[in-house]
Amino acid sequence: MNLTEDEFVTQVMRHLFKSRGIDLSGYSASFLMRSIRKRIGRTGSADYPDYLRKLLYSDEETSELLGALSINVTEFFRDKGAFDAFASQVVRPLLTSRADTGGLVRFWSAGCATGQEAYTIAMCVLEELRKVQPTKAPLISVLGTDLSQPALTKARAGIYAKEEVRGVPEKLLNQYFVSKGDGFEMGPEASRLTRFHRENLLDPPTSKYFDAIVCRNVLIYFSRAMHDVVTMNLFHALRQGGYLTLGKTETLMGAPRGSFDVIDLENRILRKRDVPVR
């Protein structure tokens, strides 16, 4: 059976949709092929038909491919300046506004990969709580979601090699991590605030009324049509007045664009207006 590249990609996408309900039609063809080629090489497949046979009859390979297709490039405090801005312009105002009333403050790391971003958010919140010293400390919830189940398994374990925590300042490393073998494990103070579950950003969000959503360096992998779907989902997941943080090279497009105020253009921090999207 001879397959052109387009036919091969189409059959791979069809299999993933039928077997896992994952719609990858919004991803660029070049991005899909880069990830698929890695799996072709690692499985020792001779050609497109050979890999397709392995994929169709192996649930394990289906999971491996989905992991390869997920955006798993991440690190603690990735772009520290952006997280400094996030702490001062998002976390601090949210905590200050609840300083006397308590309540729940909800954060969402959308596309969290192996958890570093979600745990970074938790550490930022804990550090700002120490500065604000509210009369009645609010409850904090940090949700991390990703498409890749293997990535989420690692995130829940919270165990990282030494090279994976190199972006963590020494003070925070001592405060929020415990040594484990040749690496480190998230300590209870940050991990108790954080939970993870699988979610496709192209689907309507399973949770809403977030005070802040961080979705950095994820939108760049979607086509324009799917970009608009994702941003609309993020819009509906935010409460009125909630904050959205994107990656520095990303731009909000589509219907929600006019419903946000720019708080920090350089660090792509936006705030949802108290006006419904048209």
70: its two tokens = 């997920």
Q: What string of pLDDT tens digits covers the 278 residues of the chain?
A: 688 998 999 999 888 877 765 677 777 788 889 889 999 999 999 999 999 999 999 888 887 887 777 655 688 998 889 999 999 999 999 999 887 777 899 999 999 989 999 999 999 999 999 998 877 888 999 999 988 888 899 999 999 999 999 989 999 999 999 999 889 999 999 999 999 999 988 889 999 999 999 999 888 767 677 788 889 999 999 999 999 999 888 887 766 778 899 999 999 999 999 765 55
Assign domain 80-272 one CATH number from 3.40.50.970, 3.40.920.10, 3.40.50.150, 3.40.47.10. 3.40.50.150
Question: Which pTM value belongs to this model?
Answer: 0.79
**What local confidence, expressed as pLDDT, does residue 276 receive?**
54
In sequence order, which residues have a C-beta less than 8 Å from that of residue 89 and are 6 or more positions away?
263, 264, 267, 269
Would you kindly state where each structural domain of the chain is located, as residue ranges?
A: 5-69, 80-272
**What local confidence, expressed as pLDDT, does residue 255 receive?**
67
**What local confidence, expressed as pLDDT, does residue 74 receive?**
80
Tell the CATH topology of 5-69: Chemotaxis Receptor Methyltransferase Cher; domain 1 (1.10.155)
Pairing of strands 210-215, 238-246: parallel
Query: How would you class 2 by CB atoms within 10 Å of its CB: exposed for 0-12, middle for 13-18, buried for 19 or more?
Result: exposed
**What local confidence, expressed as pLDDT, does residue 60 receive?**
83
56: its two tokens = 């169709």
CA–CA gap between residue 265 and residue 268 (Å, rounded) = 5
